[in-house]
Chains A and B, each alone.
Chain A
Amino acid sequence: MHAVAALNYVTSGHSSPDFWYHPPLKHILEYASIKTFGDNPYGWRMRNVLFGAGAVVMLFLLTGELFSDTRKAFVAALLICIEPLHILYSRSSFEEIPATAFIITALYFTARHLKGKTNSAIFAGVFFGLALAIKWYFIFTWITAALCVALVVTKDEGMHWDKALYYVCSYLVIPASVYLLVFYQWFGRGYGFRDFCLMQFDAYRTLQLVTVNDYLHKQLLGALEFKQMQWFVKPIIIIFQNGGQDLSGQFVVFMNNFPFWLLVLPSLVYLLYHGLRYADRHVLIACALFIVTYLQFLLVRRPLFIHSTMAIMPFAYILLAYFLVSIVEKLKLKGKTFNILMALIALWGVYLYPFVTGRMVPVWLYKPILALSHRV
């Protein structure tokens, strides 16, 4: 469906058979992937493979930039690298992967700008525009980042009108320009700017009224619908058996990396405490990004599926990396315990990898996970 929609959008400006009310950058990227790698499963999925890998690198850079600590950056990158959902969706054509990669990149440039490593905030604006042109999920993340920049710059350097104008241009006008340009094919259908504004308004209203029944694969998606409150408080494991028999099995696995996800909310509490106590602005910014992104999901009325968690995962793992490394630092054997931590995370990833990538695996090896799962 995504491949057909991509070809249709670029050639006609129509998103069908996908939904018309989503921003269309995903189609343009998918089209580029198909043109580069062919109209076959490789071409359909390479966009996400590349952006999924890019997201790992960018999360490493972002975490390193925020906390000036390579170990925290390694842990965050390793966690997203072994995340079952990140692996699963990086092998699919869902748009959450490129959107997440763009928002991480936008925040990386924002963090560099805040630290004075780059004078320009323009790159941040471009990547915020690209992220929003795939998913509206990140609208509050974008606003929060812009507010953080305004607060930090005002506090550190003062804000004159020309500088304020520059930030408005970088964080509002550039994303708006990028967002508009992505609709190039849609404008090719003859629509003007009034039509564009009305369409955006209608898209928002339609999105609010979406139900599971509106989706093409409503049975599959119905199984993946979870209450947002549950995301970080219980194991979420939905398994479709694809092949195999009693002793071995091949599975499609939708699961959160629950041993780590269950630590996200305690990590948030720890970072809030730490950030407030030591007035560490970067820790507080990381908390703010997680809270606003998660809060919008908690407040949204339409059904949300497990792949929506991709939007919040980078922030969750930034918090978790900080928390885990801070705990390790409090232990005496600093170097060794950090290596043990990394090895444990990597081992867990190695254990999960064949299971979550749909390979034939011995059932006994994954019995504990299968026992926790909801089998469809």
Chain B
Amino acid sequence: MKFSYLQKSCVILVFFLATVVSLSVYSSSRRIYAPPQQINIDKPYKAYDVWEQLGVKGRVVLLFDRHLNVDQEGSSVAESNYMHWAIAKNAVRAVYHVIPDNAWEEVKHNIQNIQVRDFSNGIYRSTIEGAPLYILRISDIPRLRDKVMMNINTDLYTEHEINEIKELLRSGKITADIITESGKTQQRF
């Protein structure tokens, strides 16, 4: 049985589409979410333990802190490397690092040392070992379709900024299942 060029092409195109659809379904199926909850932690890096206990996988995290904490050194989870571990263990696939407004100028200056970076709509984009990293301020957080995890160090943000974060959640611009909060003042998000 001989197939025409058109028939062969159709088979190849169907194979390609099947590949794309299969990989999309597969990647979505690998994301693991948790029931909505807010958990108070004494240090930001304790968020890693929470994510590990809840078994989340393939997630986007909004990190409200001054430092990213992605050092690759250390054989166990620590303050300086917990985001690196979260990525390495596949709990996190992308990081939105939300900088307090009062530290933005300093961060902007430091970003100039990152060789691979983009800037658009107030957001710097780079990578952590290939994982997407977005560096931005609260006012520049875009609408995110995927449900996110939030790790907030409330000590570093003003009352106004905290209210902005609450408003983001209230308005539905972002939805979160796990909110880990550290800081002296207990906030309800």
Contacts and interface: CB of A to CB of B under 8 A. Distances in A.
Interface of A: 12-16, 20-21, 120, 122, 160, 162-163, 165-166, 168-170, 173-174, 176-177, 180-181, 183-184, 187-193, 195, 198-199, 202-203, 205-206, 209
A166 B6 CA distance: 7
Given A13-B90, A162-B4, A189-B58, A20 B129 contact: yes
Given A14-B129, A165-B5, A189-B27, 6 more contacts: A15-B130, A174-B16, A188-B26, A189-B58, A202-B116, A205-B116
A376 B30 CA distance: 49
Interface stretch (B7-15, B46-54, B95-103, B151-159): B7-15
A192 B27 contact: yes
A209 B116 CA distance: 8
Contacts of A170: 12
A189 B32 CA distance: 10
Q: Which of A16, A21, A174, A189 lies at the interface centre, i.e. has the most chain B CB atoms within 10 A of its CB?
A: A189
B9 A165 contact: yes
Contact of A20 (B20, B58, B130): B130
Of B23, B27, B127, B130, most A-chain CB atoms within 10 Å? B130
Main secondary structure of the interface of A (DSSP, over half): helix
The interface size bin for chain B is 20 to 34
B30 A181 contact: no
B137 interface: no
B13 A189 contact: no
A63 to B, nearest CB: 29
A160 B4 CA distance: 12
Contacts of A176: 16
Contacts of B6: 162, 165-166
Interface in B22-70: 23-24, 26-28, 30-31, 57-59
A206 B127 contact: yes
In the complex, which of the residues B4, B57, B116 has the most CB atoms of chain A within 10 Å of its own CB atom? B116
Contact of B15 (A162, A166, A177): A177
29 contacts: A14-B90, A14-B129, A15-B130, A16-B88, A16-B129, A20-B130, A120-B8, A162-B9, A163-B5, A165-B5, A166-B9, A173-B16, A174-B15, A174-B16, A181-B23, A187-B23, A187-B26, A187-B30, A188-B27, A188-B30, A189-B30, A189-B90, A190-B30, A191-B58, A193-B20, A193-B24, A199-B130, A202-B130, A206-B127
Interface in B101-147: 115-116, 127, 129-130, 132
B133 to A, nearest CB: 10
Nearest to B18: A177
B130 A187 contact: no
B41 to A, nearest CB: 23
Contact of A180 (B9, B23, B28, B89): B23
